[in-house]
Amino acid sequence: MSQAALSKPIQPLLAPYQSLLAPIDTFLHCRTPQAWLEAARQPQVLAVILNDHMRCELKAAQSAAFLLRRYALDQSSGEALLQWLKPYEDFVYRQLQHGDNQRPLTSAKKNGVANALTAQPDLPYSDDIVDKMMRLIKEELHHFDQVLQIIQQRQLAIGHLPASGYAAGLLRHVRTHEPAALVDKLIIGAYIEARSCERFAALAPYIDSELQQFYVSLLRSEARHYQDYLQLAERLAGQPIAARITQFGEWEAQLIKASDDQLRFHSGVPSAAAIEAATQLSAT
């Protein structure tokens, strides 16, 4: 992220993170369009941006859990992982709460499943996947709880919120044979995490100080997540994947630069209808 793109108040705050942001700026094939920033910064759509951000944190944890269950864990460990995520999914998708009303996910956070997972012994890379993905899941769920706390404090909770087409637009390019499918999913994970990091930094100059500090606090972990995904992809591929990484970068940039009828944290350039719909959702 170039210094010219940052407002003066944020420059000292982001200065310690330039070594993290520079590789991401190089990795991504485009920056967030100014039109998205202009729309997302508006107070009247804040409820949509925050609620979608919260859901994105859960989806990131779910995606990592899927990779663990599909490629690394034994069956009983996979089931334990599903139970760990269930209170979060109940809260988001079924409006069910566990524990007290202000911190509905306390029981899930106390779950000790992270210390009781068993990797499949016949997969040479399973331990590495388990280590990286479990750390990612813990951090994403912690971020989920942080966003939820902000939403509750500001009384910005909203109900059903359809997802953007961003992740689906990337997943449709996944190859159908292994290990190519796993490599593609890991590359996609890298781009989603890198875009999240880039958008946190890009949006920070335009928002209030509490959210600004919060988004900047997420940069380090998001930058590490994208690197973890890339390292796993390169290790598991068994052959050079630079061309495949570049191809996904082009597809990702197309989604980010395309006109979008939804305004979400990872959406493309929002249409007037998208902004109006987000405004109405935020007002409910």
> Over the stretch 97-145, which tens digit does the pLDDT of each residue have?
554 444 555 545 555 565 567 777 777 677 888 889 999 999 999 999 9
**Does residue 2 fall inside a structural domain?**
no
Domain span holding position 254 = 9-283
> What would the two tokens of residue 147 be?
């966003």
Residue at token pair 């890198």: 194
pLDDT computed for residue 147 by the predictor:
96
Residue 13's pLDDT band, with cuts at 50, 70 and 90, is: confident
CA within 13 Å, CB half, 254: 8
Q: Can you say whether the dihedral through the CA atoms of 4, 5, 9, 14 is positive or negative?
A: negative
Q: Are 191 and 28 in contact (CB under 8 A)?
A: yes
pLDDT computed for residue 114 by the predictor:
59
- What number of residues does the chain have? 284
CATH code assigned at 160: 1.20.1260.10
**Does residue 3 fall inside a structural domain?**
no
* Residue 159 pLDDT greater than 60, yes or no: yes
**Does residue 148 fall inside a structural domain?**
yes
**Helix or strand holding residue 280 (H, E):** helix 272-283
Q: Using CA atoms, how far apart are residues 247 and 56, in angstroms rounded to an integer?
A: 24
Q: Using CA atoms, how far apart are residues 51 and 40, in angstroms rounded to an integer?
A: 13
In tens, the pLDDT along 167-224 reads 999 999 999 999 999 999 999 999 999 999 999 999 998 999 999 999 999 999 999 9
Domain count, the chain: 1
**Does residue 174 fall inside a structural domain?**
yes
**Does residue 4 fall inside a structural domain?**
no
> What would the two tokens of residue 232 be?
């796993």
Q: Using CA atoms, how far apart are residues 233 and 249, in angstroms rounded to an integer?
A: 14
Per DSSP, the three-state class of 7 is coil
**Does residue 1 fall inside a structural domain?**
no
